Amino acid sequence: MLRDFGVKVTGVDFSQEVINANRLRHPEIQWECVDALNLARHFEPNYFDAIVGKTLIDCFMTRTDAAGSIRQLMQQCHTVLKDHGCVMLLDKACAESIIGRGKARQITVEMHKTMTFRILHVIPRRGQSIIRAPCQRQWELEIEPSLQKHFVVRPAAAGSGSLQVWSTDNVANMAGVETGDIVLGYRKSGCKTMSVGSATETARAIRTSNKKLTLLMERPAAGASRRKTVSLKTRLMSRQSTSQSDSWRESWQL
């Protein structure tokens, strides 16, 4: 469609099979098998006016190093984009806790399915230093079913697709869970794929799983505002309040 509007288009994908198939379907378009994390190795600086990524962030969110990979992607895009350039992303996951900038809004596609559309403009290279976000720690944490009684999670932010640990007790702290931690996704025992992008599904899995569960966790960089560990009484009151809002949580979607 972009080509039909007179735009010079370069199609990029990590899979050579996908590239080969697209070359057969649309031979008039330039197709390149390139890793999105190495764009600067294949394209000159200031090469593109815009980069469009469909479910690209969703792919990176399945990785255990999602935060670092997404930041590397943004750095690569910054290198190959012109000064007036922009990145347009369409994904199920908002990844607000990782990206943290740009204009994002929810759009409806395919009837009732919603996705996040985000536009990021290039930060000027001249006369302005680039402020890099402090690194955040990301790891996988395996929890026993009984541990879910010792911490409470709530949606981190509307549309973010992640959960924030709202309160904990000493048992959760000893297991490696602290207030302010972000739960990006989960993987059930025996599954290889990490499920990300839906706070509702992640919360339900934590609350109902009777087997070990692996959570994809992220801890904000040092200095980020975080709630202190609360007393057991306050934690139980918070859990009761959260339980009473189950009807809202069940209908809460990305």
Instruction: Give 68-104 pLDDT, tens digit per residue.
Output: 888 899 999 999 999 999 999 999 888 877 787 788 8
Q: Which CATH number fits domain 140-251: 2.40.10.10, 3.40.50.2000, 1.10.490.20, 2.30.42.10?
A: 2.30.42.10
For residue 248, what pLDDT is reported?
30
Domain positions in the chain are 34-121, 140-251
**CA-based nearest residue to 79, from 136, 32, 37:** 37
Render pLDDT for 186-198 as a digit per residue (tens, 0 to 9): 988 888 778 877 8
Render pLDDT for 164-185 as a digit per residue (tens, 0 to 9): 999 999 999 999 999 999 998 8
Render pLDDT for 22-64 as a digit per residue (tens, 0 to 9): 999 999 999 999 999 999 999 999 999 999 999 999 998 888 7
Render pLDDT for 113-151 as a digit per residue (tens, 0 to 9): 888 899 999 877 654 444 444 555 778 899 999 998 999
- Enumerate the H helices of the chain as residue ranges: 16-25, 39-42, 56-61, 66-80, 96-99, 170-175, 199-208, 232-244, 246-251
Sequence-ordered list of residues with C-beta below 8 angstroms from that of 201, at least 6 positions apart, any chain: 186, 195
Render pLDDT for 86-95 as a digit per residue (tens, 0 to 9): 999 999 888 8
Report the top-level CATH class of 34-121.
alpha beta
